[in-house]
Amino acid sequence: MRGRVLRAEREHDVGAELGGAGPGPDDQLTQRGSPGHPENGQDSAAGWTDRVRRAVDGLRPDLPAELDVAPGSGVLSLPDAKAYGVSGPVARASGLDVDLRRDDPYLAYGQLPVRVVTRTAGDALARYECVLDQVHASLDLAEAVLDRLPGLSGPVNVRLPKTVKAPEGAVYEWTENPLGINGYYLVSRGERTPWRLKLRSASFNNVQALTAVLPGTRVEDLTTVLSSLFFVVGDIDR
């Protein structure tokens, strides 16, 4: 089992190495008892910020410069985008300039330069362009975080109890996700489990917008248009 875990870790080096079982100095998989094994005092996370920065820099050249999508198909107008309550790249491609990371920041987003990507055409091409440009914006955020890390101090984790009792009452929170806005409504009676917990996913509203988008769409464009609405079927019933 350990061998399989270590082999998988070599494929996802940056994501898994923080756990402390990364490869040794000779870039070979280390075994228990060897100098490079984390149980023998080597910090395998040392230098990981440099490796993350190289990974970020290496992604940019691989992103396409332009998209092979015909313009004008699957248009969602700005009034329809508002009426159907779409969010994320679907909304921003129609000119709705909304991003919770900038407009209602949470976590550390209020301290970061969140660049919001928008278009006005509202067609499938515009939605794909928003997603592509948003990847560049996300890489910019990753670099901004890496620049800030050396100046930060304090614990990187906290001890939490096994069970958490939410105080009696109700609360609604929302977050910006890759497909759009996810909302979370929790009602508590002060017990160990919530009395009610409801998730509102972006996919639900994005699918509703198909009513406005699909009429008049050519059959050969259906795949392109449907995939540009960025919905997950398993989310639409939440």
Give tens-digit pLDDT for 36-45. Answer: 444 444 444 6
Please give the model's pTM, rounded to 2 decimal places.
Answer: 0.77
Q: Which domain holds residue 140?
A: 62-151+161-235
Indicate the average pLDDT of the chain. Answer: 82
pLDDT tens track for 71-105? 999 999 999 999 999 999 999 999 999 999 999 99
Residue labelled with tokens 């990847």? 135
Q: Are residues 119 and 222 in the same domain?
A: yes
Same domain as 75, residue 14: no
Can you tell me the mean pLDDT for 5-19? 46
Number of domains in the chain: 2
Residues 20 and 100 in one domain: no
Q: How confident is the model at residue 46 (pLDDT cuts 50, 70, 90)?
A: low
Whether the CB-CB separation of 213 and 94 falls below 8 Å is answered with no
Q: Give residue 11's pLDDT.
A: 46
Of 15-19, 105-109, 111-115, 156-160, minimum mean pLDDT range:
15-19
Same domain, 19 and 109: no
Q: Which residues, including other chains, have CB under 8 Å from residue 78's CB and lie 6 or more apart?
A: 94, 95, 96, 120, 122
Is there a domain that residue 176 lies in?
yes
Question: Same domain, yes or no, for 107 and 9?
Answer: no
Q: Are residues 201 and 230 in the same domain?
A: yes
Is 156 inside a domain boundary?
no
8, pLDDT greater than 70: no
> Alpha-carbon torsion 216, 219, 222, 225, what sign?
negative
Which CATH number belongs to the domain containing residue 133 in this structure?
1.10.645.10
From 9-13, 84-88, 118-122, 221-225, the region with the lowest mean pLDDT: 9-13
Residues 113 and 9 grouped into a single domain: no
My answer on whether 7 and 114 are in the same domain is no
Q: Does residue 130 sit in the same domain as residue 169?
A: yes
Whether residue 93 is contained in a domain is answered as yes
Identify whether residues 99 and 34 lie together within a single domain.
no
Whether residue 13 has pLDDT greater than 90: no
Share above pLDDT 70 across residues of the chain, in percent, rounded to a whole number: 80
**20 plus 79 within the same structural domain:** no
Q: Does one domain contain both 94 and 135? A: yes
Tokens of 138: 């996300």
Digit-coded pLDDT (tens) for 111-157: 999 999 999 999 999 999 999 999 999 999 999 999 998 888 877 77
For the CA atoms of the chain, what is the radius of gyration?
A: 22
* Residue 53 belongs to some domain of the structure: no
